[in-house]
Structure 1
């Protein structure tokens, strides 16, 4: 894949992203996104459409500059590459962020579609290993990855950890023990009970070797939540959640929510040991279902 082809793919994503967010038309998302990112962004568009069915003509267009492309040598399909570029979007600290987008396609006649998105603190990503020709190294998903956790097992491992808190695979942080603590705090508020279950996602991970022998891995999980309020009360589906409602509205005191999340982590090499560190996590509710 050439730099020109990468730039074309990034522009195709940008144009599609701006059109979908301006029109609030979720049917447009599959033309420029796939996998976990499609599930997350399309849900956001559906939710926004419920609030603004006329669209959002005042949407500030996404724009990129200073784009770089990381391309691994790969045999067979699917193939992927990473584009990172400075965006015109700011983080909570008011800093313009670099977006790291993973593009994938399954055949030569398909368009490249963005399947994962991450931003990193200080806009600094882990340093990836490249050869003398500038190619990165794709890490296999299975047992020959050379990592403490194979990329293909990360989704299940993360889901199991969030469900049980057991094991020492993941480093302490906002999206590991911190996330479990926040959920436990919300689980049994007065008059409300919240149950949850995390499951592995079917979206394939993407992994690139880092200079230290580990890997930068993009993967996804699914989070199921059931909310129950006291007998006689009802849960009202309003606002943006209307766009995610499955089936007709009904009065109920139980509601189920599904959330898809995408995680970007560093995984140490087996020879080095250590824990998986979650660097970035994005998510969106994708469905709301009365029970």
Structure 2
């Protein structure tokens, strides 16, 4: 099997990011204010209170449970956006494809801890750190699932990122990222009003600017411990772990003899946020696409003719995303995950970046 060369734009971005990290030079701190979320929005939103955040959280929980009990897709999608919307859509499609009886699975939640950024421009965000349990199960059941080829528990602590896109727009859940085993959040820096401090995505006082944390992770996922980015990114289940899983399979996609297996972690333009930690680092939220493909060599090499190879087994998880009655493909099978991540970006000159949480799941599949 072979690993595809990363797309040129990602390679360039990673090379620049690695150079900046290793040199620890040429970076300058961005200003405060509307640029904190990287949008450049000029208007300033009012401060969010804990009571308002609790109302948004409770509304999401009650709505998602009602949607699961009734199978109401429109209701389920009304409170989500970005990565979470993709995940909810794929989950409902899978439940219907598998003829799951109502109620569909849903989560119950513990008491959340809210992290409310100081007032800034739109879009604005807040984070809920909360434990959850899949309805009808116990934490001791140790139920787990596969996300990006890595085993992730279904129960436990998650970071829920809520987003309000603009003035008078509703709050929606943008992503839910599960913390890896044994991981907890570092203390976050707050101002005199108790709000956490958001950072510009270009901040240069960290090991890496927050907006290149994703490309650095991608370099390690794509190339493994030999990547130059490994000098800045810690080993772990969501970095070298995804790389090791991808070398064998991701999404259960196995290459028949003679076919080529490729994977690449690429950036996705969804909600991004960096919050200052008490030690001068940052907690960074971002999203990525993980693309996995099995294809005959002629497709990879843009050669003619393209002769079909052995049948490629389609994993059960991909079937709901393909045309009903799809035959086993013999030329190409592609699966795409849309994933959310949270990572700790330390101060410059200290420890490596640690990717601590993952969310999302399958988003797209094609076969030929």
Q: TM-score range by the shorter chain?
A: 0.7 to 0.9
Distance 1:58 1:204, change over 3 A: closer
The equivalent position to 1:31 in structure 2, one of 74, 78, 81, is 78
Q: Tell me, which stretches of 5 or more residues in structure 1 are unaligned?
A: none
Q: Equivalences for 1:50-89 in 2 at 5 Å? A: 50-52=97-99, 56-59=101-104, 61-89=106-134
1:104, CA displacement in angstroms?
Answer: 0.8
Q: Is the 8 A contact 2:132 2:157 kept in 1?
A: yes
Larger CA Rg, structure 1 vs 2? 2
Q: Is the 8 A contact 1:51 1:239 kept in 2?
A: no
Q: Does 1:221 align with 2:268?
A: no
Distance 1:238 1:171, change over 3 A: closer
Measured on the aligned residues, the alpha-carbon RMSD in Å equals 2.8
Distance 1:285 1:87, change over 3 A: closer
1:15, CA displacement in angstroms?
Answer: 2.1
* 3-state SS of 2:55 partner: helix
Distance 1:108 1:263, change over 3 A: same
Bigger CA drift: 207-216 or 165-174? 165-174
* 3-state SS of 2:112 partner: strand
Q: Equivalences for 1:1-291 in 2 at 5 Å? A: 1-52=48-99, 56-59=101-104, 61-89=106-134, 90=139, 93=142, 97-120=156-179, 121-122=181-182, 124-142=184-202, 144-165=203-224, 166-167=227-228, 168-186=231-249, 191=257, 193-228=260-295, 233-235=310-312, 237=314, 239-245=316-322, 249-253=326-330, 254-270=332-348, 272-291=349-368
1:26, CA displacement in angstroms?
Answer: 4.1
Q: Deviations over 1:78-118 (max 9, x none)?
A: 11111223333437747962332111111231111111223
Distance 1:188 1:105, change over 3 A: closer
Q: Distance in 2 between matches of 1:119 and 1:43?
A: 18
1:48, CA displacement in angstroms?
Answer: 1.9
Which TM-score applies when normalising by structure 1?
A: 0.86
Q: Tell me, which stretches of 5 or more residues in structure 2 are unaligned?
A: 1-47, 144-152, 297-306
Q: Distance in 2 between matches of 1:159 and 1:173?
A: 13
Q: Distance in 1 between matches of 2:358 and 2:338?
A: 10
